[in-house]
Amino acid sequence: MATSASPRQQQADATGNEPPSNNANARAPGRPTVRIHFSSNGSSNLTTPSVRVTNQNPSNGNMRRIAMPPIAPPPPLPPLEPQPQPHSRAHNEDNDPSLKKFECAICFEYLNQPVGCGSSSCPYRFCKKCLQRTVLQDLQRSSASNPQQQPTAKCPHCRTVILPSSIRGDHTLQAEMNSCTSPITCPFDGCNAELTLKDLEQHEKSCPHLPIQCRYAPYGCTWNGALCSFPDHELECHFTSWNVLIDNIRKHQWETKHILHQYQGFMNLNHAFIHSNRQLILAHHNNCAGNTWYILQMMLEAAMFPGRFIHNGGLWNVTNEHERAMILNQVVMWPILGVVARVAAMGVQHVPRLVHLMLENGDDTTDEMWGLVEMMMLSLAVTVMGILVVACLYADSGNPLSWGRYDIASSILGDQPWIRDIAACSVAMIVFTFMELYGSIRGGMIWIFVASLSLVTTSFMEGMTGKLLERAPRVVLLQSRNTAIVEFGLRYGFAIYTCGFLPAVGGMLILRMLPLTVKRKIHMILDSPVTDCFLTNISSSHAVVAMIAYLAAAASMYQEQIMQPIMQVLTAICVLVIINLYLLYLIVKVGAKLVETNCNNEGAVNNATLLASGAPITLQKPSLVGACAAAAFVLTSVLIATI
């Protein structure tokens, strides 16, 4: 019976997709629909979706969905025929015992296209279809139990590993079966025909006494009988009056099965495409792991798009601590190397002016000329120290988590990472020199910018990756080796500039002389053992001896003004404590707070919700905290380059 289409059905017919229900999420993608229309005579018309590319949400133009291609028409439906009943192999027992060798080792019927498993030691033979079915079942079972390994199948008797392609026919046995003349009695009751082996299979298909089931047995008919009595049953079977409805049901089942098979093929192609895409991205990651722009892209990904970062987490491969440490090592060095580049460029810019003043050689230009010479010498020193730092980084580039140790004067100092210590001292000299070059105010501002940009950026990035990927450890920042030399340089370069070299050394020695219990109580304001480089090896007893020598040298130098060096040392202690507080605050407090705020941000929650629902990750709404952090990173970099 035909029914009139409702407005909702008319909308579906016009668009080709099922319209969203009243309680459906507005952001959910449209669902491809298969519809079956019934007419008054019981016939049906099945429609399938066509190829269309549509926007999932008009407000998000980049979120697109590709509909499935049209489904190919199904093959003709085979007619409904009566099916033979399964019969036993008892008839084989009454035949010639020499025919036993012609039986299948799986179904125990006479062989149909005899094949072997491929092993020369296996005496058993099988029907070709029986062995292929068994091998396919073993392969599916092996693949389901251990997807990571290559699936295998074994011979059901000799347990030799076989593949479908290794199945070979036994032509000798087939020829022997064709030439066999031993009589075989038809196995069906009422038929006593004597046949040869090669004629038995054809006779069993058309024997009038073949036990069969009614063709409507799947729909409820329980009749069983011989093939010759089936026409009489057809006249009495009650299910023949339902033949139109049953044929329509079979047609719909046949078409639905065909559609599901087609969609399964599309899904397999989609999975293969996704796997290939992941392999390409992973190969790109392996090739670009040391690329600066790639690392910057990853940092912005984690900071500004947490949901998309989660979605691509397996592709970034940041759960490996070596990969994460390598990224942090490069990011933490950018501000220092940026200052070096800025100072080097400034020195080069003043070369023409210096040459001009030297050619004039006037008395009124002497002061300006020597000022330029001093500035260029400081610029040259910063450039040389920067080159030395880069050389140290490349000289020992094996492990991003630790520096190589070298046996130099091991009887006194033991194995030491000398390259790390040289790089740390070079960074301290860079900090001291650019502060000497720019002065207290400008140099102090640049120091704050460099410290904030180096430590906050790395701690924020490390915290975000550790938070979004819960499997990743959160301590890689303190373990990454470049963090140690940057903190060492920022700490002691600033202390030497503000207090002088000897007072800074005296303050460091006094801090080293504190007892272990005091160090534990005020651990947050002491130098971290990881970031203090070679000074970590100075024990309390060594610090006492060095401090006595320092006081003796200061007393002989200052004589009656002994309070002056003491006050300088106390000032250096206060400066070191304040610097430690500031650096640790940047890492522990500011970075952790940004991470928590960003992960609790509404945009991150929405992204996580979209990811859980399987919908595409939105790309147009970055998290507010991540966007502000990225803007601050760019602004601070510009200030370092232009101040």
| 236-275: pLDDT as tens digits | 888 888 888 888 888 999 888 888 888 888 887 777 777 7
Q: Across-strand partners of 185?
A: 194
Reply yes or no on whether the pLDDT at 339 is more than 70. yes
Residue 302: its pLDDT value, please? Answer: 65
What pLDDT score was predicted for residue 515?
A: 61
User: Tens of pLDDT along 87-130?
Assistant: 544 455 566 777 888 888 888 888 888 998 888 888 889 999 89
Does 77 score more than 80 pLDDT? yes
Q: Which residue has the tokens 């940009």?
A: 453
Query: Residue 79 in contact with residue 213, Cβ under 8 Å?
Result: no
Place of tokens 């192609």: 269
Task: Quote the mean pLDDT of the chain.
Answer: 72
Which of the residue ranges 165-179, 434-448, 622-636 would you say has the lowest mean pLDDT?
622-636
Q: Order of strands, edge to edge, in the sheet holding 114-116? A: 126-127, 114-116, 168-169
Task: Give how far Cα 304 sits from Cα of 204, 281, 450, 570, 635, Å.
Answer: 73, 20, 22, 44, 16
Nearest Cα to Cα of residue 514 among 577, 425, 587, 583: 577
Question: Do 210 and 84 meet the contact criterion of CB atoms below 8 Å apart?
Answer: yes
CA distance 305 to 627: 9
Give the pLDDT mean for 46-50.
Answer: 41
Amino acid at 430: I
CA distance 310 to 612: 11
The pLDDT value recorded for residue 553 is 72
pLDDT score at 115: 92
Of 220-224, 237-241, 460-464, 513-517, which gets the smallest average pLDDT? 513-517
* pLDDT recorded at residue 17: 44
Which tokens belong to 166? 């290794």
How far apart, in whole angstroms, are the C-alpha atoms of residue 347 and residue 358? 16
Mean pLDDT for the stretch of residues 390-406: 80
Task: State the architecture of 90-209 in CATH terms.
Answer: 2-Layer Sandwich (3.30)
pLDDT of residue 43: 43
Range name among 219-223, 320-324, 431-435, 566-570 with the lowest pLDDT average: 320-324
- Report how far residue 442's alpha carbon sits from residue 339's, in angstroms, rounded to the nearest whole number: 13
Look at residue 477 and tell me whether its pLDDT is greater than 70.
no
Please determine, for residue 343, whether its predicted confidence score (pLDDT) is greater than 50.
Answer: yes
Check residue 23 and give its pLDDT: 39
Task: Encode pLDDT of 133-164 as tens digits.
Answer: 898 888 888 877 776 677 888 888 888 888 77
Q: Could you tell me what percentage of the chain is helix, strand and coil, using 3-state DSSP and rounding each to the nearest 5?
A: 65, 5, 30
Q: Give the pLDDT band of residue 526 (cuts 50, 70, 90).
A: very low
Per-residue pLDDT, 303: 65
Q: What is the mean pLDDT of residues 494-504?
A: 87
Has residue 476 got a pLDDT over 50? no
pLDDT at 538 over 80: no
614 CB-contact burial (10 Å; exposed 0-12 / middle 13-18 / buried 19+): exposed
pLDDT digits (tens, 9 = 90+) for 53-63: 444 444 444 44
> pLDDT class for 429, splitting at 50, 70, 90?
very high
Domain extent listing, the chain: 7-66, 90-209, 315-499+574-642
Q: What pLDDT band is residue 375 in, cutting at 50, 70 and 90?
A: confident
In SS3 terms, 241-261 reads as HHHHHHHHHHHHHHHHHHHHH
Nearest CA among 172, 428, 461 for reference residue 326: 461
